[in-house]
Amino acid sequence: MVDILIFVYENFFASGIYPTHSVLQNRLFAAGFREDEVEETLAWLENISPLPPAERDPAPSTHAVCQRSLDAAEFERIGAAGWGFIAFLENNEILTAAQRELILSGVMSLDEPEVDLERLKLIVLMVLWRQGYSLDALLVEELIHYQDWILQ
C-alpha cells in the first residue's frame, strides 16, 4: 500500500486533482502494481471520501477534546513517536477524531510490523488531501519532509 500511496503522491498531489477510481486503477496497473495491492489501496482511499465544504475547516469552538487509547497491536505498530505525532495534529485541530481513525485504519492495514514516522506522515497527507482540506504550507512541508526517503 505504501508504494502505491507514494506513486499517487508523486503523480497527482502537485496538481491538486484526485483522479477517478477507474483512472487511478488503470494508471496503477500500467505502472506494474499487483491487482490485490491496487484493490486494497483503492478500497482504503475510497473510505476517505471528500468532506462537504462546510465540514472541511471546522471552527475552533466546534473542536471537542477527545481522548483515545491505542490497543496493544495499534501501539506496537505505530509506536510512541507516531502516536505523539497524531496527538499533536489532533490537539492543534489539524485532524479530527474521524480522520485520526482513518489514519489508524490505514496504518493497521499495512503488512508491516511497525510503521515509521515517515510512512505515517504519508498516510496523514493522503487523508487530508483526499478529504479536500486546504493544507497550510508549513504543514505540507512537514508532511512531505520524507521526499529524500521516497527516493531511496
Q: Is the pLDDT of residue 66 over 70?
A: no
Domains: count for the chain: 1
The DSSP secondary structure of the chain, one letter per residue, reads: -HHHHHHHIIIIITTT-PPPHHHHHHHHHHTT--HHHHHHHHHHHHHSPPPPHHHHS--GGGPPP---PPPHHHHHHHHHHHHHHHHHHHHTTSS-HHHHHHHHHHHHHSS-S---HHHHHHHHHHHHHHTTPPPPHHHHHHHTTTHHHHT-
> Residues 38-49: pLDDT tens digits?
999 898 888 777
Which structural domain, as residue segments, surrounds residue 35? 2-150
pTM summary value: 0.74
pLDDT at 6: 84
> Residues 123-132: pLDDT tens digits?
888 888 887 7
pLDDT at 38: 94
Q: Is the pLDDT of residue 151 over 50?
A: no
